[in-house]
């Protein structure tokens, strides 16, 4: 009995130390060390459990980013590091049998707007948090958004516009989505927007920046799909 208790304590200490080392590797964007740690962790944990540890590490860094303890470039590197590691875990997991087990998001920059840096950051963040992302790119016409929502049966439409001259296209897209009766949570973001404009356009959420994208998307989903 004493031996079993000692084994349990040792395992707990090992897993606690492993989680700490994984968080450190994620924080430092050390992909090589992280890959070695994950291989070691997989000896006793499933890919799904290891993915959970990675997401916890990402969440810690996202909160640091929200509190301005980390810069945007640092956080982008964190997203890339975690995304690569999660891809490794997904390749080891059993294929999902239930397509409703995850949320599918269609994302893109509205027509006439060539600026996609912000959209790319948000798309990468979504992927890191386990969302399935259908990225339509930039300068996307209204019809393409509508077609993608139908084709992929997406629950979220994320629209980006970085110019005041292109943001009115968002209103048209949202109106078309509502007319068709599609049940979808619409989240919008971009430099010329604010919460008031987002409400006027009929959006379900407004992502002021990458700091707020996950919370806003989760809140929009919970309102549309209670």
Alpha-carbon gap, residue 158 to 179, rounded angstroms: 18
Q: Please report how the helices 72-92 and 2-27 are oriented relative to each other, as an axis angle in degrees rounded to 10.
A: 130
Compute the CA torsion angle 130, 219, 157, 67 (nearest 10 deg): -70
Query: Average pLDDT for consecutive 10-residue bins of the chain (226 residues)?
Result: 53 77 93 92 84 87 86 89 85 53 89 92 88 96 96 97 96 94 94 95 93 90 93
**What integer pLDDT is reported at residue 88 of this predicted model?**
83
Residue ranges, CATH 3.40.50.280, the chain: 99-224
Q: In CATH terms, is domain 2-92 a member of 1.10.1240.10? A: yes
pLDDT given for residue 148 in this prediction: 97
- Which pLDDT value is given to residue 86? 84
Backbone angles phi, psi at 16, to 5 degrees: -65, -45
pLDDT of 4 reads 53
Predicted pLDDT at 101? 45
Alpha-carbon distance of 69 to 54, in angstroms, equals 20
Q: Which pLDDT does position 118 carry in this prediction? A: 87
**In terms of Cα–Cα distance, which of 200, 150, 195 is closest to 174?**
200
51: which 2 tokens?
Answer: 């993915």
Quote the distance between the C-alpha of residue 105 and its chain's center.
9
**What per-residue confidence (pLDDT) applies to 97?**
43
The fold for domain 99-224 equals Rossmann fold (3.40.50)
pLDDT for 205 equals 97
């Amino acid at each position: 009995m004493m031996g079993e208790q000692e084994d349990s304590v040792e395992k707990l200490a090992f897993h606690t130390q492993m989680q700490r080392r994984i968080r450190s590797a994620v924080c430092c964007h050390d992909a090589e060390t992280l890959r070695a740690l994950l291989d070691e962790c997989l000896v006793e944990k499933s890919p799904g459990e290891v993915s959970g540890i990675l997401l916890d590490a990402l969440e810690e860094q996202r909160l640091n980013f929200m509190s301005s303890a980390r810069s945007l470039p640092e956080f982008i590197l964190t997203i890339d590091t975690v995304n690569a590691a999660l891809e490794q875990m997904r390749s080891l997991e059993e294929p999902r049998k239930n397509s409703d087990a995850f949320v599918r998001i269609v994302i893109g920059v509205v027509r006439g707007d060539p600026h996609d840096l912000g959209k790319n950051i948000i798309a990468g963040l979504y992927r890191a948090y386990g969302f399935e992302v259908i990225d339509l790119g930039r300068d996307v016409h209204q019809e393409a958004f509508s077609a993608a929502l139908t084709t992929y049966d997406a629950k979220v439409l994320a629209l980006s516009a970085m110019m005041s001259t292109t943001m009115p296209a968002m209103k048209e897209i949202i109106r078309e989505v509502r007319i068709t009766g599609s049940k979808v949570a619409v989240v919008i973001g971009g430099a010329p927007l604010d919460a008031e404009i987002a409400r006027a356009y009929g959006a379900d959420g407004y992502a002021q920046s990458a700091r707020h994208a996950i919370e806003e998307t989760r809140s929009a989903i919970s309102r549309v799909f209670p």
